[in-house]
Amino acid sequence: MVILMIELGDIKAARDRISEHIRRTPVLPVRNTSLPLGKGELFLKLECMQVTGSFKARGATNKFLTMPKEAVRNGIVTASGGNHGIAVAHAATMAGVPATVFVPEAVTEEKIARLRQWGAKVVRRGKIWNDSNALALNYAKERNCAYFHPFADPAVVAGQGTTALEFLEDAPTPDVMVVAIGGGGLISGMSIALKALHPNVRIIGVEPTGSPTLKASLDAGRVVRLPEVTSRVATMSCGETDSGIFDLVQAHVDDVMLVDDEDILDACQWLWSELGIAADLSGAAAIAVLKSGKLRVEEGQKVAALICGAGSDGM
């Protein structure tokens, strides 16, 4: 277990550290659509346009840049549903060392192709991320490689939090921020920044009904291991979160809502047909909670949604 002590200053330091290595992604005001998603104003933070295709580049890059060079000399190992692994492969390219990424069986061929494009060795083993992660940890220990956790790492969480700082600099302060959850690192980092700067912002997490990792833990008041994970969205499928992440989410996130895989796919198709945005399923999850009507946008409200990953799922 890692104790996650992260403050706004850590996120600001991460922003300065990674700025030369990532893209400042745009914020898109959503207007003039044939199927509006509510009565208020909607703004999309397009992390699908980020280096490696997702926000994960922020956390992996910050992790790498906070480590001594000798710590990664034998290579970097991780486990991922796809996007974090691609970001780690990018970091390994920066370091000039090999990357090995363990992925669960449900990972898409598109993600595997992108992992290999960045030079990663891909090991496809494990039903869900937690299974793949156990194998990755053993592999890293046996070969004395650096291991990059996708969410339970303070440098990774601080890196992901830089997404919120950028949004606040480029768009009006939202009344509601909607963020997809896999393991919980992204929403943890973003919520720390948002609540420190604008305590009244309501932060809503989104999980698949087939992988309610944080929702089940919050309802129980402690971290729980899901008896099964049935979601087909590999980038959002996690059987158990970390206790440090749970504490951060419990302290800063206002609610976690669940959407079906079909709702996520429908949102993915909406993003493509209405806006020409090629998102993966996790990238569309924040839209799914709006399009399905589970989160209602009222007149005058400003709502922000993070399009956290790129892909062809909606095309």
Please state the separation of Cα 209 from the chain's center in Å: 17
* Residue 55 to residue 309: CA distance in whole angstroms: 7
pLDDT tens profile 294-315: 998 889 999 999 999 999 999 9
219 found inside a domain:
yes
Question: Residue 128 has what pLDDT?
Answer: 95
Give the Cα separation of 84 and 290 in Å (integer): 25
3-state SS track over 81-95: CCHHHHHHHHHHHHH
Total domains in the fold of the chain:
2
Kindly report the CA angle at 122 between 47 and 111, in degrees rounded to 5? Answer: 35
- Within-domain flag for 72: yes
Kindly state whether residues 224 and 303 are assigned to the same domain: yes
Look up the CATH number of the domain holding residue 143.
Answer: 3.40.50.1100
Q: Is residue 217 part of a domain?
A: yes
- Do 283 and 215 lie in one domain? The reply is yes
- Distance (Å, rounded) from C-alpha 52 to C-alpha 99? 14
Average pLDDT, the chain: 96
What are the C-alpha distances in Å from 178 to residues 91, 220, 302? 27, 22, 11
Q: Find all residues with CB under 8 Å of 284, minimum gap 6, and list them.
A: 264, 265, 267, 268, 270, 271, 307, 313, 314
Helix (H, G, I), strand (E, B) or coil at 225: coil
| Consecutive H or E run containing 207 | strand 202-208
Domain that holds residue 260: 8-55+154-307
Q: What pTM, to 2 d.p., does this model score?
A: 0.96
Question: pLDDT tens digits, residue range 16-60?
Answer: 999 999 999 999 999 999 988 988 999 999 999 999 999 999 999
